[in-house]
Structure 1
Amino acid sequence: METRKAKLGADHPSTLTSIANLASTYRKQGRWEEAEQFYVQVMETRKTKLGADHPSTLASMVNLAFTWESAGRSADAIDLLRTCVIKQEQILGSNHPQTLSNSKTLLVWETMCLTIEARSGSRLRKAG
């Protein structure tokens, strides 16, 4: 009896999960560029296959935002996470655990950015 190997394809959900897992490994290793490349691939494929508002697509957006934040791209990360939270509120509801978690993260990131900006501004004023 011959065993058939299934070819899942580049846009199969299991393939995308594997790519996202690889991206997560790269992110944990501090390999931001590789992580970003794979997270973008997963996000864009999910947008095409599932739609921009699908929960799996939104999860991909969150992963990319966390990668950008880890890589020091705070403004980009905040913008992407803000977009994601707005969509999660519309799709999942404001009391959904993912929405609540990402809303809290967004608040922390925004607060950190404001704190850094305030400190930088006060240093500039004192020096000048």
Structure 2
Amino acid sequence: RGVAMNVLGNGLISAKHYEDALTVQEAELSMLRRVGAPEHSILVAQTNLSTTYARIGRHEQALQMSRDVYSGELKLYGEEHGRTVVAACNYATSLVGLERFEEAKSLLRKMIPVAQRILGDSHDHTLSMRSIYANALYQDTCATLDDLSEAVTTFEDTARIARRVLGGAHPSTVNMERALQHARAALRAREAEAVRVADRAAAGALQRDLYALRRRFELACEAGTVQVAERDALQRDLDAIQRRLEVR
């Protein structure tokens, strides 16, 4: 019966009848738990259910389910296992989708080295995890320049590997290269903003210098203690600062 429900659920997914598939998958999971099915079978059913939740926009439930799957795979297989890596990848995807970037980055910083160690740098799961990490870096509104730069570097590396391993037309490669362009645009915008902030700060400092120098010049002239050479030097300094402000 469980096999039949799984086949039916997959068929409904293929036909894009997601709500109907959800009903079947929830019933399948309930049945597996009721009959005491092996833990790995329950985790597979939960993974399918999490994907369907995401497809119909129930992202909080998808996140909860993907978290349960990751926890279950970790307990059943340990950290250094391909199934745990896949579960971590799915969990991180859910976190990024809900803009819980810090949690996603924390998870991925722990699991990316594991994926690299047991699967290798060119494995599609490793590439996916690194791409999700780069997305978490650049999509965060609190991202620093260093974060954005790291995102660009990561996408450049993953896209290069994906082109070599998967080919330029592969959907994963196309998605990475598209994300790379977005990350580069975000980095350029942040760099331009940093320049504007620095310019405003420098202009403010020049304004303060100009005010202080002008006041010193006025006081010296009023007191009649300024020498002609000193007065001319002060005037040249005033003119120089004024020109720098005008250029800005």
Q: Is this a same-fold pair by TM over 0.5?
A: yes
Instruction: Please say if 1:66 is aligned against 2:98.
Output: no
Q: Which amino acid aligns with 1:33?
A: E
Q: Which amino acid aligns with 1:9?
A: A
> Does the 8 A contact of 2:89 with 2:128 survive in 1?
no
Following superposition, the deviation at residue 8 of structure 1 comes to 5.6
> Does the 8 A contact of 2:137 with 2:143 survive in 1?
no
> Does the 8 A contact of 1:35 with 1:67 survive in 2?
yes
CA distance in 1, matches of 2:81, 2:125: 13
Q: Deviations over 1:86-123 (max 9, x none)?
A: 1101111122222123223322332333785565xx59
| Residue number in structure 2 paired with 1:95 | 122
- What SS does the corresponding residue of 1:109 show, helix, strand or coil? helix
| Selected match of 1:9 from 12, 24, 37 | 37
Q: Deviations over 1:46-84 (max 9, x none)?
A: 111111221101111111111111111122112222322
Q: Which amino acid aligns with 1:67?
A: S
Superposition TM-score, scaled by structure 2 size: 0.41
Instruction: Please say if 1:46 is aligned against 2:73.
Output: yes
> Does the 8 A contact of 1:62 with 1:80 survive in 2?
no
Instruction: Please say if 1:78 is aligned against 2:98.
Output: no
Following superposition, the deviation at residue 38 of structure 1 comes to 1.3
Cα RMSD, aligned residues only: 2.7
CA distance in 1, matches of 2:138, 2:63: 24
Q: Which amino acid aligns with 1:23?
A: S
Task: Determine which structure has more spread, i.e. the larger CA radius of gyration.
Answer: 2
The answer for unaligned runs of 5 or more in structure 1 is 1-5
Q: Which amino acid aligns with 2:46?
A: I
More helix by share: 2
User: Relative to structure 2, which stretch is displaced further, 38-47 or 108-117?
Assistant: 108-117
Q: Which amino acid aligns with 2:107?
A: L
The answer for unaligned runs of 5 or more in structure 2 is 1-31, 146-189, 201-248
